[in-house]
Amino acid sequence: MLSVTPFFLNSMEQNPWKTQKIKEIYENPWIKVEEHEVINPAGNPGIYGKVQFKNKALGIIPVDSQGNTWLIGQYRYPLDCYSWEIPMGGGPLEVDILESAKRELKEETGMKAQKWTEVLRIHTSNSVTDEEGFVFLAEDLEEGETEFEETEVLSIKKLPFKKALEMVLNGEITDGISIAGILKVARILGV
């Protein structure tokens, strides 16, 4: 008979890796790349690459009283393709995530929201990076002027939230934080 250990007693939750040496490979204002010399779980020497992010990833799903939301379209250089996403950006590690989310919503859509709900915490590509993301539902919206950064060439699309959900389900939205956030908000809104 199979023996099952309750999750809170599982010894597999302890780190089986032993770090021997850490070498910084590359750094810029957004990331740092390290190579770790390790002893792997089998007891053998190996290496592990780690990308450390200098910001929290923040996604915002604005929803108005008519059930509309806004998506941001932009060309994503690393993927070499155009992408539709929820409004998002980075927030410095030392700054409150909600304050950074408010700034990103204003920058990319021009909007301010009176009601904010954190709906999701997510780790992206956790096999190679420590990036942590958060998604907020923003409601009771007030429209205003955008404040794009100099590196941003953005398109803004207002559409029914149900249409954004359809875009996730049919593969038009491929960004992981956008997908997770839209699916979670769809559940919250009962869509």
d(CA 47, CA 183): 36
CA distance 68 to 66: 6
CATH 1.20.59.10 for domain 55-189 = no
> Which strands sit side by side in the sheet containing 132-142, from one edge to the other?
88-92, 55-62, 132-142, 112-123
pLDDT in tens, 106-125: 999 999 999 999 999 999 88
Please say if the pLDDT value at position 184 is more than 60. Answer: yes
CB contact at 8 A, 4 and 19: no
pLDDT in tens, 72-112: 999 998 899 999 999 999 999 999 999 999 999 999 999 99
Per DSSP (E only), the strands in 18-151 are: 18-27, 31-39, 45-53, 55-62, 68-76, 81-85, 88-92, 112-123, 132-142
3-state DSSP assignment of residue 151: coil
pTM across the whole model: 0.86
- Taking the domains of the chain in order of start, what are their residue ranges? 7-53, 55-189
